[in-house]
Structure 1
Amino acid sequence: MAETKEFKRSPAHFTDRITADARDGWPAEPGRYRLVVSRACPWANRAVISRRLLGLEDAVSLAITDPIQDEKSWRFTLDPGGRDPVLGIAYLGEAYAAREPDYDGGISVPAVVDAPSGRLVTNDFLQITLDLATEWGPRYRAGAPDLYPEDRRDEIDAVNDAVFRDINNGVYRAGFAHTQERYDDAYTRLFARLDELEARLSTRRYLVGDTITEADIRLFATLVRFDAVYHGHFKCNRTKLTEMPALWAYSRDLFQTPGFGDTIDFDHIKRHYYQVHTGINPTAIVPKGPDLSVWRTPHHREDLGGRPFGDGTPPGPPPEAERVPALPGAA
């Protein structure tokens, strides 16, 4: 049998940063940039959550792709005429080509596009949220939380590194493994890390400090997809999220916090994974479960203390155009 390559996530090819001092030539200028996301993608979900919590909706506009890709990757078929109304393009790949005509790599979200020129600025999913949290100060809403506090950055970075390696990316390593050995390794590391976080979160409300930080956003984006997708589709089936008491309560706590659950579209999530990954699910049948109403059940995490937004306040409702379908039984 031919040897198959281990799943490895490609590093971002376009790593320019949008900063207050415009060090890469891209100033943090309100109204200039368009954040392109898929509701299905956990990496993009993190950027959407950060943008909501910080109140950057008016500063950085949002484009939402169809959850089902075709041979040209992410497309704007949800918009009238099949084109993004701001960028005027049918496929995100057009912005990549405008930046680098000879580029032949993958087309990924999240991506930030310079609206005036139509050129891609960055697809660096690890850096995009950090720059949203640190470079747009004058545009943050009143009461915005500090998602990447300077005195906690070393701890946040350490947690993020472990979570990315074994959980965020670990579920993909398990799901796309082509040998039993590689699947077993990813599975073992995934659940060892989840068990570690289960213990950590049994005595504290948030991962770092007593407020929501970048670390919570990164972990949540994987946990919220766990039972709906990763447990079955990616064979991460030792334990469901709903069977890990602290992690399940923690996930519901965040889901019920403004800025988190109101960015989650389970329909997009399930259709993308089950219908796009035909190598894993050749029938493209989308399962009807699990029961989503449980996300609104009480979590009692407030008993651990903590202040979700620190000295700040929760964000208001999302703009009408960005709202996702309500869960069954939700008000």
Structure 2
Amino acid sequence: MSGDQGNASYGHKEFKRSKSHFADRVTADGRDGWPVEAGRYRLVVSRACPWAGRSLIARRLLGLEGAVSLAVTDPIQDDRSWRFTLDPDGRDPVLGIRYLSEAYEARETGYPGGVSVPAIVDVPSGKLVTNDFQQITLDFATEWTALHREGAPDLYPEPLRDEIDTVMDGIYRDVNNGVYRSGFAPDQETYESACHDVFHRLDLASERLAGRRYLVGDTITEADIRFFCTLVRFDAVYHGHFKCNVRKLSEDRVLWAYARDLFQTPGFGDTIDFDHIKRHYYQVHTGINPTGIVPLGPDLAGWLTPHHREELGGRPFGDGTPPGPVPSGEEVPATGRP
């Protein structure tokens, strides 16, 4: 199966996203057999994928780069899905494998499901630990605290978790997943319903953010990370490729400023590769774009323009500090940046 999140079904029926097959957790107490341990695990991502993008941002904000190494796949998949063709000799230098599917196979021989990112792999055994994209970032925030950098923000503050969960649930259903329901809709009625849901939720978010800098509380939380990962891809791919074209993100004054504010915050924009994003969607989803032509636009320069959201107050990192520079070797190439 192609696509940026392998646990999904496309085709002639309405788009459905399956639950992650491997839902083990890496925890402080190691209750699933995977204890938090510096250097033991490798995070495998595609910079094209919004679900993997969450884990990239959380890892940066929390300063886990030295504790969890990073593998970046080619944005273009073949029939074996995510591959390490960006690395010398086409192998991940730490895991020694050519395809992420090899880690899935090491975990479960004959595994029949989709191969998805983000994925956490146990380096000593080469086995997949989890592909639970909903849980990985929450565990980074709450279970990996002993390895957080000094000044790391609290991305999932306990007093606000119920509100964060409620906000994230609506955004996931109607926006994060809604753009896929629109893009892979099998008929006009299904498409229109999904597209209406997308823009209804965007309208609600725009109203919510008109007088506040962040979605919940006065600091960046997991909710902002999840919303951003769809917004940053909206005009580049979802507006045209997934037919979410009621309006562009850049035509919503509030959401466009909010997205630019986050993009310009260390840990967000420095993880985004627009080249990977565009090539993946337009070249992999051949059922939607059979020519594989990648559009030239949109102009990315707007992402760096002033947003003025600081006038609303808020403290991006709470009592903490911004993350340091992007580690050597993890920088986004110039071709993917504004």
Q: Which bin holds the TM-score, normalised by the shorter protein?
A: over 0.9
After TM superposition, give the deviation of residue 5 of structure 1 in Å: 1.2
Residue 174 of structure 1 contacts residue 183 of structure 1 at CA under 8 Å; is this kept in 2?
A: yes
After TM superposition, give the deviation of residue 328 of structure 1 in Å: 9.2
Number of corresponding residues: 328
User: What TM-score do the two structures reach when normalised by structure 2?
Assistant: 0.96
39-48 or 317-326, larger mean C-alpha shift: 317-326
Q: 1:298 aligns with which of 306, 309, 328?
A: 306
Match of 1:56 in 2: 64
Q: 1:127 aligns with which of 122, 128, 135?
A: 135
Segments of 5+ residues of structure 1 without an aligned counterpart are: none
**Superposed CA offset, 1:160-203 (max 9, x none):** 10000000000000000011111011001110000000111000
Match of 1:91 in 2: 99
Residue 34 of structure 1 contacts residue 61 of structure 1 at CA under 8 Å; is this kept in 2?
A: yes
Residue 58 of structure 2 contacts residue 141 of structure 2 at CA under 8 Å; is this kept in 1?
A: yes
Match of 1:139 in 2: 147
After TM superposition, give the deviation of residue 327 of structure 1 in Å: 7.5
After TM superposition, give the deviation of residue 102 of structure 1 in Å: 1.9
After TM superposition, give the deviation of residue 326 of structure 1 in Å: 4.3
Q: Is 1:267 aligned with 2:290?
A: no
The change in CA–CA distance for 1:327 and 1:93 in structure 2 (over 3 A counts) is: closer
**Superposed CA offset, 1:46-82 (max 9, x none):** 0000000000001000000000000000000000000
CA distance in 1 between counterparts of 2:62 and 2:335 reads 24
Residue 293 of structure 1 contacts residue 329 of structure 1 at CA under 8 Å; is this kept in 2?
A: no
Match of 1:22 in 2: 30
Q: 1:164 aligns with which of 147, 172, 175?
A: 172
The change in CA–CA distance for 1:154 and 1:318 in structure 2 (over 3 A counts) is: same
After TM superposition, give the deviation of residue 312 of structure 1 in Å: 0.4
CA distance in 2 between counterparts of 1:284 and 1:53 reads 35
CA distance in 2 between counterparts of 1:28 and 1:223 reads 31
Q: Is 1:218 aligned with 2:261?
A: no
**Superposed CA offset, 1:80-114 (max 9, x none):** 00000000000000000000002110000000000
Q: What is the alpha-carbon root mean square deviation over aligned residues? A: 1.2
The change in CA–CA distance for 1:149 and 1:37 in structure 2 (over 3 A counts) is: same
CA distance in 2 between counterparts of 1:166 and 1:262 reads 26
CA distance in 2 between counterparts of 1:251 and 1:195 reads 14
Residue 292 of structure 1 contacts residue 327 of structure 1 at CA under 8 Å; is this kept in 2?
A: no
CA distance in 2 between counterparts of 1:153 and 1:140 reads 20
Q: 1:75 aligns with which of 83, 88, 94?
A: 83
Match of 2:18 in 1: 10
Identity %: 75
Q: Is 1:187 aligned with 2:170?
A: no
After TM superposition, give the deviation of residue 4 of structure 1 in Å: 3.0
**Superposed CA offset, 1:195-228 (max 9, x none):** 0001110000000000000000000000000000
Residue 272 of structure 2 contacts residue 337 of structure 2 at CA under 8 Å; is this kept in 1?
A: no
Segments of 5+ residues of structure 2 without an aligned counterpart are: 1-10
Counterpart secondary structure, 2:44: strand
Q: 1:107 aligns with which of 105, 108, 115?
A: 115
